[in-house]
Amino acid sequence: MSVRRREVTVRGIGLHTGSLASVTLHAEAGPVRLRSGGAEAKLGDLVVASAERSTTVAAANGIRVATVEHLFAALAGLAMYEGVVVDVDGPELPLLDGGSAAWCEALAMLDLGTPGATPPMRVTREGVVAIGSSRHEFSPGHGVRVEVRVELDDDRLEPVAIWDGDAGDFRERIAPARTFARASDIEPLMQRGLARHVEPSSVVVLAPDAVHHAGRPFSADEPARHKLLDLMGDLYLHGGPPIGRVYAVRPGHAVNAAAIARAFVEGILERR
């Protein structure tokens, strides 16, 4: 039986900055908190500062950390809504395995007691939030259900992914889904000297003539599962995924943030 720890440190390279980052996860009583640069903020005090290609959060005390969605998705999938402090040394969280599996492994090492808390967010009524070509549908319910449909105009891919709130299913099926990009999207990163730092096993590249990947086998629904993972991370910032059903068509970090904000304003979502 493995010995649980009071803290676990992971290190790696950030996808968007190419910078080395060190993240120490602490098992500490109280709400989930983020530390960076000597400052600390509760999860509920963080706001979305940028949603371009990843989610960057910030607080009034000067905290600003990018690419938080994969760790936040792991916390959401494992129903960890308290008892964790995330101490970040670097401008963004590391890419690690490209999904949430490495974060799940790190969190499993922490002495957190028994996770499985009820999300502090719920869907209060039926509602639809449409932003451009994206749509987020919300329905009340007794459990957690998150669904996504991606529309990438690629017949090689399965567009739908669903998660019904089970932590074991998240670890085994959702968490390993890697970051993906079209080959044309990688070129600007390469020109900036960033993508070359990324392990090939962490990213799936969709080229017109092939799907490039290394390490784990690729399956047709992996991009959809990763989009679901990203949505879970974006919802976690606000206390979710909520009790109820969320169905997102063409999700992305920017539209996720905007749709969640509107859903709160319109009374579709509420914090319990």
Prediction pTM value: 0.92
64 burial (CB, 10 Å; 0-12 / 13-18 / 19+) is middle
How far apart, in whole angstroms, are the C-alpha atoms of residue 135 and residue 146? Answer: 14
The pLDDT of residue 141 is above 90: yes
Split at pLDDT 50, 70, 90, the class of 1 is very low
The residues pairing with 85 across neighbouring beta strands, listed in sequence order, are: 26, 33
Residue (of 221, 28, 257) closest to 248 by Cα position: 257
Residue 181 CA to its chain's centroid (Å) = 16
Q: Are 78 and 10 in contact (CB under 8 A)?
A: no
How far apart, in whole angstroms, are the C-alpha atoms of residue 242 and residue 6? Answer: 28
pLDDT at residue 189 in the model: 62
Cα atoms in the 13 Å half-sphere on the side-chain side of 218: 21
Average pLDDT, rounded, for the chain = 90
- Three-state SS string over 255-271 comes to HHHHHHHHHHHCCCEEE
More confident call, 44 vs 188: 44
pLDDT at residue 194 in the model: 53
Q: Nearest 10 degrees: CA dihedral of 38, 41, 47, 53?
A: 50
Rounded to an integer, the average pLDDT of 10-19 is 85
The pLDDT of residue 255 is above 80: yes
Q: What domains are there in the chain, each with its CATH number?
A: 7-108 (3.30.230.20), 121-271 (3.30.1700.10)
Q: Are 198 and 18 in contact (CB under 8 A)?
A: no
Residue range 156-211, pLDDT digits in tens: 999 999 999 999 999 999 999 998 777 777 766 666 655 556 677 778 887 888 88
- CB crowding 82-92: b at 16 or more within 10 Å, else e: bbbbbbbebbb
pLDDT at residue 192 in the model: 61
Q: Are 226 and 201 in contact (CB under 8 A)?
A: no
Q: Are 219 and 156 in contact (CB under 8 A)?
A: no
How far apart, in whole angstroms, are the C-alpha atoms of residue 31 and residue 4? Answer: 20
pLDDT at residue 203 in the model: 80
Rounded to an integer, the average pLDDT of 74-89 is 95
